[in-house]
């Protein structure tokens, strides 16, 4: 159970007190259960919402192979986790409406685009997009510094990656740097989008609250990050199709994590 509200944060724009609670792993488990319940209540609606996610992944993967830029394929797939909070904004809206006792349809998810806080949604989305592009650039630099050039075939590339010291160096450094990027996104966006949608706050207020949530709940925050990574990895197999299930469940669950963490 979440503890009593702690760590007040003043929203200068709205002049309201925002409290961040301390939560436990049991709260995360409950949020996942509620997220799964939201998904199975109206699974066809949610699958429709996220259908574009695996499609885009497949298209980008095909382009990667077609242009023989194999080294960017894994960073590209891994980088989708950095954009996950943006892809899930419609899911937060569905969970918000269900919480109010409504029976939303898929169309209601797109009503988030009519939100008074649309400017904040776009602004935070742009920040995550910049982080995503930076990650791809850094991943390419790591590849160039370790392997230098990619063999012209998939098997040749995998052979170099897994059987040479340079390949293992690339993987180790790449994964460590990727984890750093993922942590930055977690700090920025753990509860930012749900708070913007719920309270129509500005980007600074949402990010500041998300930061306080991570600082006040380091173990649950890291645990949640690992849960998201595991869900996205499982959802990527096979051919990213499983994301049509794991992404909406995680999206709905994030809304419930927000509800457990923040009070006003």
Mean pLDDT score, 163-173: 92
Residue partners of 79: CB distance under 8 A and separation at least 6:
132, 135, 136, 139
Contacts of 1 (CB under 8 A, 6+ apart): 24, 26, 27
Between 151 and 118, whose confidence is greater? 118
Whether 136 shows a pLDDT value over 70: the answer reads yes
Give the whole-angstrom CA distance, residue 123 versus residue 205.
13
Q: What per-residue confidence (pLDDT) applies to 68? A: 57
pLDDT of 175-226, one tens digit each? 999 999 999 999 999 999 999 999 999 999 999 999 999 999 999 999 999 9
Beta-bridge partner residues of 19: 8, 263
Does pLDDT of 81 surpass 70? Answer: yes
pLDDT value of position 221: 96
Using pLDDT thresholds of 50, 70 and 90, give the confidence band for residue 9.
Answer: very low
Q: Which residues of 194-226 are buried (b: 16+ CB within 10 A; e: fewer)?
A: bbbbbbbbbbebbbbbbbbbbebbeebbeebbe
Residue 255 has pLDDT above 80, yes or no: yes
Q: What integer pLDDT is reported at residue 108 of this predicted model?
A: 83
Around 78, how many Cα atoms within 13 Å sit in the side-chain half-sphere?
18
Contact 112, 91 (CB under 8 A): no
């Amino acid at each position: 159970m979440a503890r009593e509200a702690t760590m007040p944060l003043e929203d200068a724009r709205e002049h309201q007190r925002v409290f961040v609670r301390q939560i436990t792993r049991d709260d995360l488990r409950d949020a996942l259960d509620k997220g799964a319940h939201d998904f199975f209540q109206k699974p066809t609606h949610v699958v429709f919402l996220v259908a574009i996610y695996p499609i885009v992944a497949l298209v980008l993967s095909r382009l990667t192979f077609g242009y023989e830029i194999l080294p960017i394929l894994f960073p590209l797939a891994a980088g989708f986790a950095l954009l996950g909070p943006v892809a899930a904004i419609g899911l937060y809206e569905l969970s918000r409406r269900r919480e109010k006792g409504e029976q939303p349809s898929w169309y209601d998810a797109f009503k988030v685009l009519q939100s008074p806080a649309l400017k904040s949604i776009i602004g935070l989305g742009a920040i995550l997009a910049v982080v995503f592009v930076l990650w791809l650039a850094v991943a390419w630099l790591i590849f160039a510094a370790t392997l230098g050039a990619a063999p012209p075939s998939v098997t040749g590339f995998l052979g170099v990656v897994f059987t040479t010291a340079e390949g293992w160096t690339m993987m180790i450094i790449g994964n460590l740097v990727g984890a750093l990027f993922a942590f930055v996104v977690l700090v920025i966006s753990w509860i930012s989008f749900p708070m913007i949608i719920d309270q129509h706050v500005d980007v600074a207020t949402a990010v500041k609250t998300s930061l306080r949530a991570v600082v006040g709940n380091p173990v649950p925050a890291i645990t949640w990050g690992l849960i998201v990574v595991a869900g996205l990895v499982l959802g990527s197999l096979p051919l990213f199709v499983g994301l049509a299930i794991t992404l909406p469940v995680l999206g709905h669950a994030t809304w419930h994590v927000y509800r457990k963490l923040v009070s006003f």
